[in-house]
Chains A and B, each alone.
Chain A
Amino acid sequence: SQQGEEDPQALSIQEGENATMNCSYKTSINNLQWYRQNSGRGLVHLILIRSNEREKHSGRLRVTLDTSKKSSSLLITASRAADTASYFCATGAYSGAGSYQLTFGKGTKLSVIP
C-alpha cells in the first residue's frame, strides 16, 4: 500500500523558477528520502532526512520535515530543463525483526519548460 502522498500530482514551471513538492505520510518513520526518476527508469537518490531533523540542504535542493504534521517538502531552486522528472518521497521504517523498507507515494511529475 502507498503511505506517502505527493502533492501536486503534476507541476509545470518555467526554467529558473522554484518548484515545491509536498509529501504526507501516515505512520511513524525513521527517515524520509526523496528520489528522482527519469522516464520510468531507475530511481536516483536525492536526499535523506532523519526523523529528528527538520531541514536539510543539498545543492539546489532543500528538504523540510515536520513529524508532528507527518509531512515533508522538497524545494528545487532555480529549476533547469534537466530537472524534468518524477519525484517520489519514500518513508523508511524499521521493524523489530530487523526489516527495513521504504514506502513510496505516487510521485509528482515535474515539467520544466525551457
Chain B
Amino acid sequence: DAGVTQSPTHLIKTRGQQVTLRCSPISGHKSVSWYQQVLGQGPQFIFQYYEKEERGRGNFPDRFSARQFPNYSSELNVNALLLGDSALYLCASSLYTGVRNTEAFFGQGTRLTVV
C-alpha cells in the first residue's frame, strides 16, 4: 500500500502569491492533518479534517485554509505569502479521530520557499 503522498515536493513562490499543496492519505484513512515545520523547530499543527469537515485549527492566520475531498485527499492553501511562510509543510493521515488512539503517519512534505 502507498503511504501518504504529498505534492509538489519543492516549491518556490514570491511574496504575495498564493500556493496550493496537496496530500493523499493512506488508503482507508479518513483523517488528514496539516503541520508546518520551520527550520530547527518541531512541526506545528495547522488543521485537521475528518470526513470532509474541519475538526481542528491551530494558531495560524486566516491566510491559511484547507479542504478535504470526498476521496479524503486534502489541499492546503496559503494566500498572500510572507517570507515567514517558508517551511516544510507536512501532511499526516490517521484511521480514526475522537474514538481511539491511533498512529499518525506523515508524508515526505512539501518544501516551500518564499522569496
Residues of A within 8 A of B (CB): 1-2, 4, 30-31, 33, 35, 40-45, 48, 50, 88, 90, 92, 94-95, 97-107
Q: Are B42 and A41 in contact, CB atoms less than 8 angstroms apart?
A: no
Q: How far is the CA of A78 from the CA of B90 in the complex (A)?
A: 30
Give the number of A-B contacts (CB < 8 Å): 86
Interface hit among B68-76, B77-85, B98-106? B98-106
Question: A-side binding surface: helix, strand, loop or mixed?
Answer: strand
Q: Are B50 and A102 in contact, CB atoms less than 8 angstroms apart?
A: no
Most chain A CB neighbours (cut-off 10 Å) among B59, B101, B103, B109: B101
Most chain B CB neighbours (cut-off 10 Å) among A33, A35, A50: A35
User: How far is the CB of A79 from the nearest CB of chain B, in Å?
Assistant: 22
Q: Which of B41, B50, B103, B108 meets A98, CB within 8 Å? A: B50
